[in-house]
């Protein structure tokens, strides 16, 4: 038997499964996130990592966007406008209506006619009245612009701005605080009004000296009292009375 015949005999004796080709080695599937990436590719190729950022869901962006928002600034300042005397309240009402009609509600804010409460005594009775302590003027809180200026300036019975006709100057904060403070003070404590004079004869209408007459000797407006000299048993006696306790003789 030749060498060739021997080799053929050996090959024929080897089992069939031994002659099967050896399969290519399969890489182990990585665990965790890498396993998911591998499966997603649909093949045995490993997933390729990139530096591209993943977009956040729409719902998550609301918080970040709200942090960047800032509240709208209020640039309104106080200005004084001059009006026809006696038409202050009419101007205030007209200006409010015009601001709404022209869509200037965000530019024209508070409008004030400065008044004070005054207690007036008439015929021995007290009456609380509203008195303008800044007659002929109206205060307007506004953000100055050409449009806002025109709406205010063209309001009927308005003659102009105080502090410049074309580009008026706003009031200082000190001026605003002083006027607004005066309004609040008189609302809390009405200012008495007394139109009698020292030396005038009055009649007492209330208290133990009711129906007595006397002469006004002193007036204290801060305390709303007056001193009246009353003749009692032929002797002049000073009596302190409140404003509403006297009236002019009939």
pTM over 0.85: no
Q: Distance between CA atoms of 137 and 132, rounded to whole angstroms?
A: 9
Q: What percent of the chain has pLDDT over 70?
A: 64
Name residues whose C-beta falls within 8 Å of residue 32's C-beta, 6 or more positions apart in sequence: none
Per CATH, 77-193 and 201-247 having the same topology is answered no
Q: How high does pLDDT run on average in the chain? A: 74
Would you say 192 and 118 are in contact if contact means Cβ atoms under 8 Å apart?
yes
Confidence label for 88 from pLDDT (cuts 50, 70 and 90): very high
Residue of higher predicted confidence among 127 and 107 = 107
Q: Residue written as tokens 């025109």?
A: 150
Distances from the Cα of 133 to the Cαs of 1, 88, 138, 157, 182, in angstroms?
Answer: 142, 12, 11, 19, 10
Confidence label for 225 from pLDDT (cuts 50, 70 and 90): confident
Residue of higher predicted confidence among 8 and 223 = 223
Confidence label for 80 from pLDDT (cuts 50, 70 and 90): very high
In which order are the strands placed within the sheet that holds 77-83?
Answer: 108-112, 137-142, 77-83, 158-161
Name residues whose C-beta falls within 8 Å of residue 63's C-beta, 6 or more positions apart in sequence: none
- Residue 196 DSSP label: -
Average pLDDT over residues 168-174: 90
Give the pLDDT confidence of 26-60 residue by residue, as tens digits. 444 444 444 444 443 444 444 444 444 444 444 44
201-247 architecture in CATH?
Roll (2.30)
pLDDT at 190: 61
Locate the domains of the chain by residue range.
Answer: 77-193, 201-247
Residue of higher predicted confidence among 62 and 125 = 125
Q: Distance between CA atoms of 197 and 199, rounded to whole angstroms?
A: 6
Name residues whose C-beta falls within 8 Å of residue 218's C-beta, 6 or more positions apart in sequence: 198, 226, 227
Longest dimension (CA), the chain: 179
What is the CATH code for 77-193? Answer: 3.30.70.940
Q: What percent of the chain has pLDDT over 90?
A: 30
- Residue 245 DSSP label: G
pLDDT at 39: 40
Distances from the Cα of 72 to the Cαs of 69, 144, 159, 187, in angstroms?
Answer: 9, 16, 32, 33
Confidence label for 138 from pLDDT (cuts 50, 70 and 90): very high
């Amino acid at each position: 038997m030749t060498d060739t015949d021997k080799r053929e005999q050996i090959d024929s004796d080897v089992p069939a499964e031994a002659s099967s080709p050896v399969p290519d080695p399969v890489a182990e599937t990585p665990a965790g996130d890498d396993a998911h990436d591998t499966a997603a590719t649909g093949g045995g190729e490993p997933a390729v990592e990139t530096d591209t950022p993943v977009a956040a869901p729409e719902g998550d962006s609301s918080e970040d966007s709200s942090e960047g928002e800032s509240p709208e600034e209020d640039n309104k300042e106080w200005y004084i406008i001059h009006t026809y005397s006696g038409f202050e309240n009419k101007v205030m009402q007209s200006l409010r209506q015009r601001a709404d009609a022209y869509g200037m509600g965000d530019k024209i804010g508070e409008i004030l006619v400065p008044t004070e409460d005054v207690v007036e005594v008439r015929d021995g009775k007290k009456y609380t009245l509203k008195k303008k302590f800044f007659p002929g003027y109206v205060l307007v809180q506004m953000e100055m612009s050409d449009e806002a200026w025109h709406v205010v300036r063209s309001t009927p019975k308005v003659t102009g701005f105080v502090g410049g006709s074309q580009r008026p100057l706003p009031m200082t904060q000190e001026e605003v605080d002083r006027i607004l403070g005066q309004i609040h003070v008189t609302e809390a404590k009405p200012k008495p009004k007394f139109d009698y004079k020292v030396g005038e004869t009055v009649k007492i209408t209330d208290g133990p000296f009711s129906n007595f007459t006397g002469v006004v000797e002193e007036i204290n407006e801060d305390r709303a009292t007056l001193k009246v000299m009353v003749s009692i048993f032929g002797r002049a006696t000073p009596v302190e009375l409140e404003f509403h306790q006297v009236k002019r003789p009939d």
